[in-house]
Amino acid sequence: MLGRLNHVAIAVPDLAKGADVYRSMLGAKVSAPQVEAAHGVTVVFVELPNTKIELLEPLGENSPIRAFLEKNPSGGIHHVCYEVEDILVARDHLKAQGARVLGDGNPKTGAHGKPVLFLHPKDFCGTLVELEQA
């Protein structure tokens, strides 16, 4: 069912500093910041030859990454995103096995304009998993 690793998302308290670490220290190609109001984050994309790293900074008081940053004040890996061919087939397959889908269970449009879903970390080895229809 799982396809490629689409990205690893890292929550950061300061997006400009995080982007500079990847651009200046690590010599990576880093995009301009993109506001994702529906997801409560501002994001930059770090392009690697085989995948992407997304740096996420909280946007707004109700940002879903705010609590994570309170527990991890210097930042940390927030989720991994795997590609699937058909997100509804994947969702129904996982739900039938007892996995918990976050939110109302319906895909939202992610940062790349494609449908995404998040899965409960307790069902996936302690890691928040995002599925994206490739």
54 among known catalytic residues: no
Q: How far apart are CA 35 and CA 43, in angstroms?
A: 6
Query: Is residue 63 a contact partner of residue 41, using CB atoms and an 8 Å limit?
Result: yes
Query: Is residue 55 a contact partner of residue 43, using CB atoms and an 8 Å limit?
Result: yes
Which of these ranges, 38-46, 61-69, 86-94, 126-134, lies near Co ion under the rule CB under 5 A? 126-134
- Residue 66 has phi, psi (to 5 degrees) of -65, -45
Answer for which of 59, 81, 94, 119 binds Co ion (CB under 5 A) is 81
Interacting residues with Co ion between 53 and 72 (CB under 5 A): none
Q: Which residue among 54, 57, 83, 130 is the active-site one?
A: 130
Closer Cβ to Co ion, 53 or 81, answer by number: 81
Query: Is residue 87 a contact partner of residue 106, using CB atoms and an 8 Å limit?
Result: no
Interacting residues with Co ion between 37 and 56 (CB under 5 A): none
Rg of the chain (C-alpha set) = 15
Closer Cβ to Co ion, 81 or 117, answer by number: 81
SS3 assignment, position 6: strand
Does residue 83 belong to the site contacting Co ion (CB under 5 A)?
Answer: no
- How many chain residues are in contact with Co ion, going by CB under 5 A? 3
Q: How far is the CB of 130 from Co ion (least distance, A)?
A: 5
Answer for which of 83, 130, 131, 133 binds Co ion (CB under 5 A) is 130
Token reading at 17: 């500093």
The residues annotated as belonging to the active site are 130
